[in-house]
Amino acid sequence: MKLQASTGLRIKGLRLKPNFTIPMGIGKGHENEEKGGEEVTSTEEENSNNNNNKQQQQDQLPLDLRYNYQLQSIATGPTDKLNLIVLPQKLETGNGLSLNICTLPDHDLWNSDKIRVDDGGRSVKEYFTKLFPRFDMNQIVDDEEWDLFASSQGAKFPPCQYSPSLYVSSPSTTEENDNNNDNNSSSNNNSGGSGDGIGAGVVLVGDALHSFPPDLGQGVNAALCDVMMLGKCFKDVLKSSSSVSVVAQALKMYETTNGPETRALIALARCGAPFQYEQPSRIMKSRKLLWTANVALRLLLNKVTKGMSPKPAILLMMDARLSFRQVMKRANTLTGILWSSVVLTILFWMKRFVV
């Protein structure tokens, strides 16, 4: 269950102008798009025919800031297909909308031979105009933004990984002083130095402990859970322990309780929703089909059994009452049952043919 289809994907951000609208209806630009011709921009239409401009104004749909929007290019190849994801925002700030572009590493967008990075953004603007002929790029993106976009290296989705060790601690000051007392026969060294004698340590939380692509949308939540668990461990140790090695005991408890949770989180990240970025390669499409069939089967079993069979892990994750560990335990249990059923069915039919 080590699906890491989104690992290595590259992403860039582009900021749109605040007055961005979605073209609607069939106009000249759309006709040329269907015929594979060149785009006729809004400016050219205004110069040629004012009536067409009025019709275009009627065929514009303003964005609702509460929703995600996905704009697909007319190109569908593995190295030139683009899906533009317009992110929602709470309020209109006047700064424009953020748009994310996520592609495979071998996409034309990262090929400096096809899209130059030193021409002030002109080549990337022409590239987008070719892929989205219904949009007038002059009216929705500033030239300065094209330049920033072209010169930016973007980011790359990290692999799903975690640290098996969550902390490093040092002996408490009191323990060190006790060792010195055995050698020096002095009791005055039991105080002073770093003071309390509770020890010291370094602990990992958040991205320092685990990294994964943003498929689940759980990066911040997971980091906050780490901090909450760390705080709980310190409180429990302070309440129940009479030992002065507070830090060492608390960090050890943190590793014992949060280590399995971290492993479950990474397992969920590998199989949760890695194909949501519409990766265009044939292998990715085949894997997405298998993933979709798996999710559909689990949903069907959940409905047929009236909840006795667990939902897919990506849906179980949305239940705030369940930890990542509980989510993966239920998902893995059903996986084991399904594979056992397949094996038993094969053995049954083999036995019939042999007999």
pTM of the model: 0.74
Written as six digits, the tokens of 8 are 């290595």
| Residue-wise pLDDT tens digits, 25-37 | 444 434 333 333 3
**Three-state secondary structure string covering 142-205:** CHHHHHHHHHCCCEECCCCEECCCCEEEECCHHHHHHHHHHHHCCCHHHCCCCCCCCCEEEECC
User: 3-state SS of the chain: helix, strand, coil percent to 5?
Assistant: 50, 10, 40
Q: In sequence order, which residues have a C-beta less than 8 Å from that of residue 43 and are 6 or more positions away?
A: 136, 138
Q: Convert the pLDDT of each residue in 145-201 to its tens digit.
A: 999 999 888 999 999 999 999 998 876 544 444 454 444 444 443 333 344 556 788
Which one, of 17, 12, 15, 21, lies nearest residue 140 by Cα? 17
pLDDT of residue 78: 84
What's the pLDDT tens digit per position in 277-321?
888 888 888 999 999 999 999 999 999 999 999 999 999 999 989
Phi, psi of 129 (to 5 degrees): -65, -35
Q: Break the chain into its structural domains and give their ranges.
A: 10-156, 161-271, 282-354
Which residue reads 């760390």 in tokens?
Answer: 230
